[in-house]
């Protein structure tokens, strides 16, 4: 069997610890001057790809991918510092790409780069869509295992445990396939300083949307973005009796 040729798409998003603010015009979330990082689920994807290699699975190479503004390079470098061998960046400054568009680009990357395993995060924490991996699997007509909490590769056979409502289920399928990662899959490593330095020398190829025949226009038009209705805390009570009394007043007991 030939080895695993892994593709790991990563996305640059507002850091998970930052509380996002809606802009004044109500058209988007303010991104200027806000700390950005790699989408947390994508860190899990890179980590899993690197661990496959460390578990002595025949990994030929790990290609990190991102589509977005020039700054997305930073997270591609992070991915390479964590262990990806090289990176591909589809540079697009203005357009916000939708999952279907990204899936179409990824399909072509898979074909161009002869990938046989794609590991994506289950969702990005900005649009919370949870679609790209499944869409890619559909476009490629490959098997999919979403929300993976355990991955075992044995030759062509892949066994994945996935998180479902109420517990976990285990699936068995064959390469090539698409996996999306869930929180319990692993604990991503920190990139060490020497690895960060080494990552600067790893190859990073740049392409454009046009190279993939994918347009920048959105299928979903934003009508507005609003702050959620604020929730007012009802204040504190002194003791347990106070809590029971208040809960009864509120009709919750």
* Binding region for another protein (CB under 8 A) out of 45-53, 69-77, 195-203, 226-234: 226-234
Q: Is 108 in the site for another protein (CB under 8 A)?
A: no
Residue 227 C-beta: closest distance to another protein, Å: 7
Nearest to another protein of 73, 173 (CB atom): 173
C-alpha span between 155 and 45 (Å, rounded): 20
Among 45, 72, 146, 181, binds another protein (CB under 8 A): 146
Total residues found in the chain within this entry: 253
What is the distance between the alpha carbons of residues 182 and 162, in angstroms, rounded to a whole number? 8
Among 95, 168, 196, 204, binds another protein (CB under 8 A): 168
Counting contacts by CB under 8 A, is residue 233 touching another protein? yes
CA separation for the pair 184, 127 (Å, rounded) = 21
Q: What is the largest CA-CA distance in the chain?
A: 68
For another protein, which is the closer residue by CB, 18 or 197? 18
Q: Which stretch binds another protein (CB under 8 A): 54-62, 78-86, 111-119, 221-229?
A: 221-229
Whether 69 and 11 have beta carbons less than 8 Å apart is answered as no
- In the list 39, 78, 147, 186, the residue contacting another protein (rule: CB under 8 A) is 147
Exposure b/e, 60-92, CB count within 10 A at least 16 = b: ebbbbbbbbbeebbebbbbbbbbbbbbbbbbeb
Strand partners, 4: 59
DSSP conformation class of 97: P
Q: What is the DSSP letter of 93?
A: S
Choose the stretch contacting another protein; rule: CB under 8 A; options: 2-10, 72-80, 82-90, 125-133.
Answer: 125-133
CB of residue 226 to another protein, shortest distance in Å: 5
Q: Which is nearer to another protein, 73 or 134 (CB)?
A: 134
Residues binding another protein: number (CB under 8 A) = 78
Nearer to another protein, 2 or 222 (CB): 222
b/e sequence 169-178, b meaning 16+ C-beta within 10 Å: eeeebebbbb
Fill in the per-residue mask, 10 to 49: x = in contact with another protein (CB under 8 A), - = not in contact.
----x-x--xx-x------x--------------------
Site for another protein in 44-83 (CB under 8 A): none
Tokens of 78: 């992070």
Please select the residue that binds another protein; options are 7, 103, 118, 153, rule is CB under 8 A: 103
Q: What does the alpha-carbon distance between residue 87 and residue 110 come to, in Å, rounded to a whole number?
A: 13
């Amino acid at each position: 069997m030939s080895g695993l040729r892994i593709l790991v798409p990563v996305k640059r998003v507002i850091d998970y610890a930052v509380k996002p603010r809606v802009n004044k015009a109500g058209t988007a979330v303010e991104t200027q001057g806000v700390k950005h990082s790699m989408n947390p689920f994508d860190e899990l994807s890179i980590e899993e790809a690197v661990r496959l290699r460390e578990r002595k699975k025949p990994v030929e190479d790990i290609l990190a991918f991102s589509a977005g503004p020039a700054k997305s390079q930073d997270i591609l470098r992070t991915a390479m510092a964590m262990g990806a061998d090289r990176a591909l960046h589809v540079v697009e400054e203005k357009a916000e790409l939708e999952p279907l568009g990204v899936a179409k680009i990824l399909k072509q990357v898979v074909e161009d780069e002869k990938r046989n395993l794609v590991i994506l995060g289950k969702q990005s924490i900005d649009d919370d869509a949870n679609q790209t991996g499944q869409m890619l699997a559909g476009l490629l007509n490959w098997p999919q295992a979403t929300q993976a909490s355990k991955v075992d590769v044995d030759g062509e056979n892949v066994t994945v445990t996935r998180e479902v409502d109420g517990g976990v289920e285990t699936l068995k399928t064959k390469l090539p396939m698409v996996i999306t990662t869930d929180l319990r899959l692993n604990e991503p490593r920190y990139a060490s300083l020497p690895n960060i330095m080494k990552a600067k020398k790893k190859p990073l190829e740049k392409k454009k949307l046009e190279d993939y025949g994918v347009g920048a226009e959105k299928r979903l038009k934003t009508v507005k973005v609003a702050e959620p209705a604020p929730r007012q805390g009802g204040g504190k009570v002194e003791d347990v009796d106070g809590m029971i009394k208040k809960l009864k007043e509120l009709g919750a007991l």
